[in-house]
Amino acid sequence: MPASISSTDYNDHPGPLLILTVALIGLFAFIQVYSVQSILPQLQNDLSATVVEIGNAVGITVLAVALISPFVGMLSDALGRKWLIVASVFLLAVPTALMSQVQTVHGLLLLRFLQGLTVPGVSVVLMAYVGEEFRGTTMVRIITIYVTGCVLGGFSGRFLLGHLAEVMSWRTSFEVMAALNLAGTAVVWRGLPASRHFVANSRFATSMAALAKLVRNPSLQTACALGFTVLFAQVGLFTFVNLHLAQAPYYFSSGDLANIFAVYLLGMVVTPLTGGVIPRIGVRHTILLSVATSALGVLLTLVHPAWGIVAALAIAACGTFITQSATMSFIAYRITSGRSLASGLYYTAYYCGGFTGAWVCAIAYSSGAWPATVAVLVTTQAVGWIIAWRLIPRLGAAGAMR
């Protein structure tokens, strides 16, 4: 890196193209991850799957993300950022297209697992990229923009696949979804600047030493534990509420279920605002408030009217988006070396929570329907709140970010 290039050359005033590209990276990374949630009842019927098997169609993807994230982080720390992000967006299209040919639930699960293997090449590496290329409040702003894009991707995947499955077969719908990722590859390649502050670490021994140091880092341990509870609740909630609303007395179609995920659009409003809230009240207070808000939303899904359930889902989702944004900002500020590996470790814990949530909530739903599922979710969120209360430092707004 030339000596004349400083951290303020472009990252203190990111242009509209860069902001748009970062948001689109989040969209293309997550447009496939949860897309099947809106057609789970249809897939369960057509593939003759049990509740646990069809729940694993979501959980198996996040498990793959969890397993591969640290290794992608190490690869990126050694070989770079941008090329890996672009390649991962492209590779996500391949198993998505092949899903149009599956005949059994086991084939579906295999391809969903392969989808998950590609996601950390975007999510893990992008967090490291942002941590290197941006500073101060600009970094918080870019992270919240990225999370906003992830929110849009989560919504778009569910919304598009649900409505596509009403006008064409779900097999053809997966082909359309794959084409979107192919288009996204070109967008990311053209719009994302090359790294200016990346320093390669190609020594395996150095990576192992960094790994040993990071797993003992109290801040990263706290973030990982909190992240586990966050995605546990989010995946459990938005997977099995679809089965709940597809049953009597609601009988929602795939299009109706897709429309539910419009609550994610609130996240596109709420999440960017988090970038202004965190520096004022601190990470700890932000997370305590957001986790409590999400838990309240989960409890309110026990109401009977469908509109009440949808409103409750909106409350729960907003709380989750704020928690995720605050936690990612906490990591970006507290971890100053091995950022990509740290991101990988965080996402391992985060997505292990998602897989565990899908599996445990499948058992709860099978045995006690929606009330039992809600009990599991709220208990997990209570654990997350306690983690934040006890383990995130009681520092001021600025100090909490150092």
Write out pLDDT tens, residues 363-394: 999 999 999 999 999 999 999 999 999 988 87
Nearest-5° Cα angle at 247, 244 to 252: 90
CA gap 160, 286 in Å, rounded: 32
**Helix axes 120-133 and 339-391, enclosed angle (nearest 10):** 80
Write out pLDDT tens, residues 224-238: 999 999 999 999 999
When pLDDT is cut at 50, 70 and 90, the band that residue 4 belongs to is very low
Q: Is the pLDDT of residue 331 over 80?
A: yes
If you ran DSSP here, which 8-state letter would residue 228 be given?
A: H
N-term to C-term CA, the chain: 25
Q: Which two tokens stand for residue 18?
A: 């860069």
Q: Which residue has the higher pLDDT, 270 or 120?
A: 120
SS (H, E, C) 320-354: HHHHHHHHHHHHHHHCCCCHHHHHHHHHHHHHHHH
Fold of 16-189+214-394: Growth Hormone; Chain: A; (1.20.1250)
When pLDDT is cut at 50, 70 and 90, the band that residue 396 belongs to is very low
The pLDDT of residue 309 is 95
Nearest-5° Cα angle at 399, 395 to 402: 130
Site of tokens 């409890």 = 299
User: CB neighbours (10 Å) of residue 289?
Assistant: 18
Q: What percent of the chain has pLDDT over 70?
A: 91
Q: Which residue has the higher pLDDT, 140 or 372?
A: 372
> Does 305 sit behind a cis peptide bond, omega within 30 degrees of 0 on the bond before it?
no
Q: Is the pLDDT of residue 100 over 90?
A: yes
Q: 37, 177, 187: which is closest to 96 by C-alpha?
A: 177
Q: What is the full DSSP assignment across 243-274?
A: HHHHSTTT---HHHHHHHGGGHHHHHHHHHHH
The pLDDT of residue 397 is 41
If you ran DSSP here, which 8-state letter would residue 203 be given?
A: -
CA gap 24, 181 in Å, rounded: 11
Q: Is the pLDDT of residue 205 over 80?
A: no
If you ran DSSP here, which 8-state letter would residue 371 be given?
A: H
Across the range 154-167, mean pLDDT stands at 91
Q: Which residue has the higher pLDDT, 29 or 402?
A: 29
Phi, psi dihedral angles at 157 (to 5 degrees): -60, -50
Cβ pair 71, 344 in contact under 8 A: yes
Model pTM?
A: 0.76
Across the range 25-32, mean pLDDT stands at 90
Across the range 20-31, mean pLDDT stands at 90
